[in-house]
Structure 1
Amino acid sequence: MRSFKRIALLCGMSVLLAPAAWAENWQVAKNEEGIKVSLSEVPGSKYKAYQGVTLIKAPLAKVQALQEDVVGACKWIHECKLQKLLKQEGGEVWTYTQFNTPWPVTPRDSVLRVTTKKGADGSITRELVAEPTYTPEEKGFVRVAKVEGFWKLVPKGDSTEVTYQVHTEPGGSVPAMVANKFVVDAPFNTLKSLRTRAERN
């Protein structure tokens, strides 16, 4: 019985630790304009995970509203070409996004399930998981094979601390130079544009 309890405890802990398992060895790649971008190797993947953190001088509710405006969010998401809401059910939404990519990389699209959770400290976490088979593939696009990550919004007085952390398997072939540039530009440019919009009066 004791060994059974030990196994159950270990299994429970592994579930709790799983989302952060690939995010332990962060190395700062860029720290400019109040935005810090860090990268982490991911076991079994040739693509790095990225994490961007910044403080936005706007209340959490305003930042959250900008994020939940699925169509409008395309204006501040890095290289977003088009975004639309597929379905909403309780605290979950399914979104479809098309991304611009530099030549000669074929443009990507993705389907994400976004689950919103509220913390006891007033924080909001929006978990991101790819569901690539949710809709048929679109001609002229390569469907992003895997996305795991989250947005976390934490109230800091009249401001909001925003963390954007993602690991992506883009599918198809992506040159290393393009991939390495993307994992820095995506969090930096996305957070910068979100901050600009949130801080407008």
Structure 2
Amino acid sequence: MLRLARLLLGVVSLLVISAAQAGQWRVVKDQAGIQVYLQTIPGSSFQAFRGVTRMRVSMPRLLALQDDVSAACAWMHACGEQKLLKHKGNVRWVYSRFQAPWPVKARDSIVQVTTLHAADGRVIRKLHGVADYLPVRPGFVRINRVEGFWQLTPRDGEIEVIYQVHSEPGGSVLAWLANGFVVDAPFNTLQALRQLAEQR
């Protein structure tokens, strides 16, 4: 099990490094200590986002805030509901419902979250959509693809937080509308999480 965890951590770390070195990311917002990058994904009309910031918080507190799945909806952008479906070892299955501007139908998603701890103190949470885990709820469109990660890295008494996701929202969504969302989602999420995490 430990060998498998190390292998998964190595794979995710390579993905993180490759994404950072690919030269395809472009800064679209740099404000309040938060940088938002976008990347065009071949074969997709929807861009990937990458948000980066630092937080003055301990690792245990930051992990606890993320692990409180229902309460986390308060700091996740456009989140209308979130609940833990299953927890087994270092893997969680999380259901999320997202608000959408009219006339777009509300979306929901089911994401498998795998938490990996590195020897250097980093924590990586791999995000993988499992759209068929549960039947689609009436009135919602299931987000049919989610791939991404959270990377939490201790740096000089702070935590560097990277939040990266590419998703396919499913149904009929104008690309320009969705690509506006991918700027707001990482910025607002990281800003709200940092504000909560740094409360004394």
Query: Is the 2:70–2:82 Cα contact (8 Å) retained in structure 1?
Result: yes
User: Structure 1 stretch 150-159 or stretch 96-105: which is displaced more?
Assistant: 150-159
Residue in 2 that maps onto 1:123: 122
Q: Could you list the runs of 5+ residues in structure 1 that have no partner in the other structure?
A: 1-13
CA offsets per residue over residues 13-39 of structure 1, 9 Å max, x none?
Answer: x99856776773100000000000000
Alpha-carbon distance in structure 2 between the residues aligned to 1:60 and 1:18: 22
Instruction: Work out the percentage of aligned pairs sharing the same amino acid.
Output: 49
The structure whose Rg is larger is 1
- Displacement of 1:158 after TM fit? 2.6
Residue in 1 that maps onto 2:85: 86
Residue in 1 that maps onto 2:154: 155
CA offsets per residue over residues 147-189 of structure 1, 9 Å max, x none?
Answer: 0000010112331110000000010111123112101000000
Query: Is the 1:49–1:168 Cα contact (8 Å) retained in structure 2?
Result: yes
The change in CA–CA distance for 1:104 and 1:89 in structure 2 (over 3 A counts) is: same
Q: Secondary structure at the match of 1:52?
A: strand
Is residue 2:97 matched to residue 1:103? no
Alpha-carbon distance in structure 2 between the residues aligned to 1:136 and 1:19: 32
Residue in 1 that maps onto 2:50: 51
The change in CA–CA distance for 1:22 and 1:138 in structure 2 (over 3 A counts) is: farther
Residue in 1 that maps onto 2:6: none
Alpha-carbon distance in structure 2 between the residues aligned to 1:19 and 1:195: 22
User: Structure 1 stretch 144-153 or stretch 172-181: which is displaced more?
Assistant: 172-181
Residue in 2 that maps onto 1:42: 41
State the TM-score, normalizing by the size of structure 1. 0.89
Alpha-carbon distance in structure 2 between the residues aligned to 1:174 and 1:22: 26
Alpha-carbon distance in structure 2 between the residues aligned to 1:79 and 1:166: 15
CA offsets per residue over residues 40-79 of structure 1, 9 Å max, x none?
Answer: 0111111000000000011111111111110010000000
Q: Could you list the runs of 5+ residues in structure 2 that have no partner in the other structure?
A: 1-10
User: Structure 1 stretch 68-77 or stretch 15-24: which is displaced more?
Assistant: 15-24
Q: Secondary structure at the match of 1:72?
A: helix
Query: Is the 1:22–1:42 Cα contact (8 Å) retained in structure 2?
Result: no
Q: Which letter does structure 2 place at the counterpart of 1:100?
A: Q
Structure 1 moving runs of 4+ over 4 Å: 14-23
Indicate the RMSD between aligned Cα atoms, in angstroms: 1.9
